[in-house]
Structure formats: structure tokens, C-alpha cells
Amino acid sequence: MEFVHRPVLVEETLALLGPRKDGELMADGTIGEGGHSEAFLRCFPELRIVGIDADRTILETAKKRLAEFGSRIEFHADWAQDFLVETPNTFDTILIDSGISMFHYTKSGRGFSFSKNEPLDMRLDAGRGKSAGDLVEELSEKDFADLLFNNAEERYSRRIAHAVVEARKREKIARTGALADIVDRAVPPVYRRSRLHPATKTFQALRMAVNGELIRLPTLLKNAMNALKIRGRLGFISFESLTDRTVKLFFRERHLEGKGALLTKRAVCASVEEVRQNPPSRSARLRVIEKTGEGEKTI
């Protein structure tokens, strides 16, 4: 089978979340194409996994990839925060590899990337809620600027928001190519010469808003802690600084309250060799906490 996503920090995740005893149950809350799950199932023959993903299309790929493991793995199309709220004290380990998969950029056709000219959709659970196109069409200039700043710390948020609002008066902005061009023309020339495409943060911010990534993050973290057994471990991989900061503060709070032990004193990053082989791993940050006390209020 052809997989487009290369899982990050696999060795590190296996080392920090590998089972301590036979018969452990793990939740892979963002199973994607199943790269991490496959590594865990191969490495630990007694382990069972519950695989969850908000995106039904990618879940089908994981099902095919992991079919050989039979009843050691089951699959659920759901948001991890919604699934885990229903399963208190159930899992020995939970892995959340947040954000989106390379599949979404290269194969989904849903407009996650400015390097392809596709409809502006960006919904993981295809068809439910507002699309990126809806937000571009409907938000006020101020709300659009806030979205860019709050989700991606875009320093030219106001200029971009102004350009988008002016452009949509002339014509509907329906595709990624049109949006990327508007952003490109709105930012100062110096921004265009930087390493990142000027539209990188705009696209990231829209994707995060469409899928409620930052808004739902505290719920996801709380519900995941609640779904762990005592002495269970939660591993969280972030790719954006705002997500990692929220995870870091949440873990630190639990530690100070006596509800968690930090198994990673600082975030674990990809080795030089991994970054060479898989450049997107450059921004990955893994943090792991062990649950030592009850009392999580779920949402």
C-alpha cells in the first residue's frame, strides 16, 4: 500500500509509551494512516489498540494497513475528545499526534495546501460545520484578522484581513490559489523573501479554526487524562508553538496539583537524522505525562 505520511518520533514514542506489562490497552486518538499504531503493534505483540480519527477517509487507509493485526485493533470515526469522554479509566496509554497528516496536504483534495489549487474546505470530518471558504466569505475584517493572529501569530494579520475583505467584494474567494495570491500581494516584499511562503500561516490559522484545534484542545487534554487508568501515560505530539505551549502548561498544572508526573522534563524533538530524512519532523514536540491522581473534570 502507498502511504504518504511518515510518522514522527517513532522510536521516542515507543520508548516512552511502550507497555510495562502484558495485555495493555492503548488509544491512538489521531490514528491517521496508522503509522504509529503499526509500529506499536509490531513491537509489542501483547498490546491492543483503539484507533480513532475524525476523518473517515483516512481511517479507511488505517483499517487496510492494520488488517493483519485482526482483533488487536479496533477503529472509530470520531473526534478523540468526544470518544475519550465516554471511556473513563480505560487506557494504559494514549497517543495524540495532533494536527493533520501529509495525506491531507497531498491527497485529500480539500484545500489544506496553497501549493495546489483546490476548493477551500479544510474540514477533517468532511461536510460538517463551516468550511474554510465559509469563514473567508463570512467573517468581518476584524474577526478574520483575530483568527490569523490567535491561531498562527500571523504578524500581518490586519493587512491580510483587509486584502481578503476587499477582494471578496469583487469576486468570491473559492479556491486555495486565489487566497494564496491575495495574501502574497498583501504582505510586504521582505515577507515574500522569507523561508516560508507568505500564505503558510494564513492556511494554518484557517485549518485550526475550521477544526476547532485550539478551542477544543483543553477538552481533549482533560478527557484524555480522565480516560487513563492511574499510572497510565499520555503522549502528545504538537507541531505548532501555540499547541505545544498549551500542552506544556496543562501538564505542568497537573504536576503541581499532584495529578501527574512529567516523564519528559522538556519537549522531545526529532534527531538531526530524522529531520534530514523527514523534514516536517523539524517542528514536532513530544511531551509525556503519567497520571498519578484522579479528579479530572471532563467536558
Ligand X SMILES: C[S@@+](CC[C@H](N)C(=O)[O-])C[C@H]1O[C@@H](n2cnc3c(N)ncnc32)[C@H](O)[C@@H]1O
Smallest Cα–Cα separation from 184: which of 166, 160, 154? 160
Query: Least CB distance from residue 136 to ligand X, whole Å?
Result: 21
Query: Least CB distance from residue 256 to ligand X, whole Å?
Result: 26
Question: Please, which residue, 108 or 157, has the CB nearer to ligand X?
Answer: 108
Q: How far lies 172's CA from each of 30, 76, 175, in Å?
A: 34, 36, 9
CA atoms within 13 A on the CB side of 279: 0
Question: Please, which residue, 95 or 164, has the CB nearer to ligand X?
Answer: 95
Query: Least CB distance from residue 104 to ligand X, whole Å?
Result: 7
Contact 267, 9 (CB under 8 A): no
Distance CA 247, CA 88 (A): 20
Query: Least CB distance from residue 108 to ligand X, whole Å?
Result: 9
Binding residues for ligand X (CB under 6 A): 5, 7, 29-30, 32-36, 52-55, 58, 79-81, 97-101, 124, 220
Question: Please, which residue, 69 or 156, has the CB nearer to ligand X?
Answer: 69
Question: Please, which residue, 174 or 214, has the CB nearer to ligand X?
Answer: 214
Helices (H), 194-271: 200-210, 217-227, 241-256
Query: Least CB distance from residue 31 to ligand X, whole Å?
Result: 6
Query: Least CB distance from residue 17 to ligand X, whole Å?
Result: 12
Question: Please, which residue, 49 or 120, has the CB nearer to ligand X?
Answer: 49
φ/ψ bin of 100: left (φ > 0), alpha (ψ from -120 to 50), beta (otherwise): beta
Strands of the 228-238 sheet, one edge to the other:
73-77, 48-53, 25-28, 91-97, 228-238, 285-291, 260-262
Residue 5: DSSP 8-state:
P
What is the signed CA dihedral for 66, 71, 77, 80, rounded to 10 degrees? -100
